[in-house]
Amino acid sequence: MKNKISYLLIFLISAIQLIAQVGSVKNTINSFPYQRPSDTETAITSMHIWGKSEWTKLVHLLDNDSLRLKPTYALNAYINDATLNAALKQQVAQNLVAVYGSAKTFYAREFIIKQLGLLGDDAAVKLLSSLLKNETFGGNAARALASIHTPLAKQALSKGLKSATSENAKHIQAALDNVNTILPEIKIGSAEKQVAKTDAQKLLMLQDRIEKATTRLEKRNVLHEASFIPGFASFMLVSKSLNDESINQDAALILARLALADKNIRGPEVRASLEKAITLIHGIDSAVLVSKLTDHLINLPYDNGFVSLFNGKDLTGWKGLVMNPIARAKMSDSALKAAEQKANDKMKNDWIVKDGLLVFTGHGDNLATEKKYADFEMYVDWKITEKGDAGIYLRGSPQVQIWDTSRREVGAQVGSGGLYNNIKNQSKPLVVADNKIGDWNNFHIIMKGAQVTVYLNGVLVTDNVPLENFWDRKLPIFPKEQIELQAHGTYVAYRNIYIREIPSDEIVSLTEEEKNEGFISLFDGTNLDSWTGNTSGYLVEEGAVVVNPDKGSGGNLYTKEEFADFIYRFDFQLTPGANNGIGVHAPLEGDAAYVGMEIQVLDNEADKYKALQPYQYHGSVYGVIPAKRGFLKPTGEWNQEEIMVKGTEIKVTLNGTVILEGDYAEASKNGTMDHKEHPGLLRTTGHIGFLGHGDVLRFKNMRIKVLEEEKKGKKKKKK
């Protein structure tokens, strides 16, 4: 009798535990598929600590036709999140492998196999290898192994092919074809060798393949291979497929993952592509990616990202060449303008746009950028014909060499990518890395100071070598000048020209005029030594103060010093919907908008602010005096603002226009516009601050001039 009771108790306890597990799993995934971002994060956090029993229950839910929708969305969201965390992928793959045997239906098993492929971790290889012999799941397993894209996965496919049935062999061979690529051969010295499969080489081949592709499958295969190549160049290749309705959703998913994995993928073209990608991500893939991508775009800097130097349609951004930098500097403005007009007229016949390529016809002079560059990083594809000779001038100076390596009579056998006109410093490339004539090549050029680094087709050919001043070798290289595409009498074509300006490490100082006027710097671009408050919520990045909402919602940052009458100047850059403020006469405690004054900093054009009161828009003394609207620059551009406070008079100038001028004591004598108490209006001195509201903004060039009355010791005591 006792044994029966014991068995019954054990059964009841097990049943209760199973019911609890079922409830726990169902509660975790209950918000899917129509979840809010916060619910998604909560669910994923819970799934991180699941044991085998919870994962087994999720698989049982996948087996149930009427219940599988929620677990499908939840698991896909979890896998998408895990792919962004290298340390997590292996554990997640091990969890799925452990419970695969619990799956009973075709749907559940196929879905798990696909998720293992998306994870891309070797922990799944053993299980997937065993499935290659399975007539039902062999094809899915082969495709998943191809997605993992590691040497171990490739080895498993090759081994599986030897013993596969004829039907499965087709799937395995297709998967192997997907991961294997054959690269062109080039001459290195006197021997024929195969070029290493660098990322740059792969991308050149993939662009060629996708341009020739005629079917959706061919295009998808190209995108799939590009998804494993990190970095900006891969992102831009994939982004071109956003306009192809047959594969644009595939492209959108890949772009999201590439961008989330690399914060250096940025710039106006990147932002535009990601904004379009968000609209194309639907279904189970949207569960995590859309919210993460939205946050990523808000935090993505507008500055120092890659911009396109060639739009594929015309010569916008380019101009004809006028002499050399030294000669141009000696010309009068009128003479230079006349010479540029003449050069531009001639340029139109020498350089043309054909089939989306920038082409030199073989006669004429160099093509120059309208803009001058200091330090930069540049990508450019180029192609020449037999006996070709060209080059790229950096800061108006010759040159990163391009030529046909068969031209031994002029020394071209050393290869392209060297600094040809150097005399004292290295001029020849380290190795030959040119592709055969008629094929595309890629330069990745980095210039910091006088130092130049060049990768040709992904191979380092010039390693941090100083570029000499060809025009006057007694002088250093120019600190800032135009980039030129050399005209050397032979055909050359360019495409995919992108450049990123590298921010200077120099300390930002006041102008001589500001020094003479009595301004002092509150921020030199390197530290927050003059500031106090929530210094963890405001970061110094690339010469600017960036509000970091992840650290205390931005919070408030104040000057250590107090100011009474002053002129305060600063630059600011808004992100969509951003809200902040400038505290004036503020104490270090309390709501600065009331215990001090707040000059509003706001993205006026955001839709969510269309119903605000006039005294809440940008430049207003919050709750007290409204400012004029319509003078902010577009989101992402830098605005310049000046705030002058003298006694109870205040004036705000935005981008050269006075948007507010008044007396806040007079304006509030019969009560404030917002009908609230503003004791701070009675203060005559205090701190200047940034008043965060949980949004990303950037500030720089903060400087202040203490007005004469305060300098003479006439400032009043705080009330």
pLDDT digits (tens, 9 = 90+) for 127-165: 999 999 898 898 888 888 988 888 898 898 998 888 888
d(CA 700, CA 698): 7
Least confident of 30-44, 174-188, 413-427: 174-188
CA distances from 689 to 593, 618, 686 (A): 11, 16, 10
pLDDT in tens, 459-518: 999 999 999 999 999 999 999 999 999 988 899 999 999 999 998 877 888 889 999 999
Among the listed residues 274, 306, 280, the one whose alpha carbon sits nearest the alpha carbon of residue 293: 274
Q: What is the pLDDT of residue 554?
A: 55
For residues 429-456, average pLDDT: 96
- Residue 35 has a pLDDT of 63
CA–CA separation, 702 and 531 (whole Å): 11
Return the higher-pLDDT residue of 67 and 699: 699
Q: Using the predicted structure, report yes or no on whether residue 352 has a pLDDT greater than 70.
A: yes
pLDDT of 359 strictly over 60: yes
pLDDT at 184 over 80: no
Residue 120: the pLDDT is 84
| Per-residue model confidence (pLDDT) at position 8 | 43
Amino acid letter for position 156: A
Q: Compute the average pLDDT of residues 286-303.
A: 89
Gap between the Cα atoms of 533 and 544, Å rounded: 17
Buried b (16+ CB within 10 A) or exposed e, 548-584: bbeeeebbbbbbeebbbbbbbbbebbbbebbbbbbbb
Contact 688, 582 (CB under 8 A): yes
What is the CA angle 563-569-571, rounded to 5?
135
Task: Give pLDDT, residue 18.
Answer: 39
Question: 442: which strand partners?
Answer: 381
pLDDT at 34: 65
Mean pLDDT of the chain: 88
Whether residue 15 is predicted with pLDDT greater than 70 in this model: the reply is: no
Residue 717's pLDDT band, with cuts at 50, 70 and 90, is very low
Contacts of 286 by beta carbon, 8 Å cutoff, 6+ apart: none
Model confidence, pTM: 0.77
CA angle 404-410-412, nearest 5°?
Answer: 35
What DSSP string runs through 144-156? HHHHH-SHHHHHH
What residues form DSSP beta bridges with 318? 369
Write down the pLDDT at residue 85.
76
What per-residue confidence (pLDDT) applies to 364? 87
- What pLDDT digit, counting tens, does each position of 601-619 carry? 999 989 999 999 999 999 9
pLDDT digits 0-9 by tens, 228-238: 999 999 999 99
Question: In this predicted structure, what is the pLDDT of residue 714?
Answer: 43
Lowest-pLDDT choice from 17-31, 66-80, 296-310: 17-31
pLDDT score for 391: 96
- What confidence tier does 630 reach under pLDDT thresholds 50, 70, 90? very high
Residue 713 has pLDDT above 60, yes or no: no
Rounded to a whole number of angstroms, the distance between the first and last alpha carbons of the chain is 86
Q: Which two tokens stand for residue 172?
A: 């395995």
* Residue 650 main-chain phi, psi, to 5 deg: -140, 140
d(CA 129, CA 131): 5
Distances (CA, A) of 613 to 173, 579, 678: 66, 15, 17
The answer for residues whose C-beta is within 8 angstroms of residue 186's C-beta and 6 or more apart is: 193, 195, 432, 433, 434, 435, 436
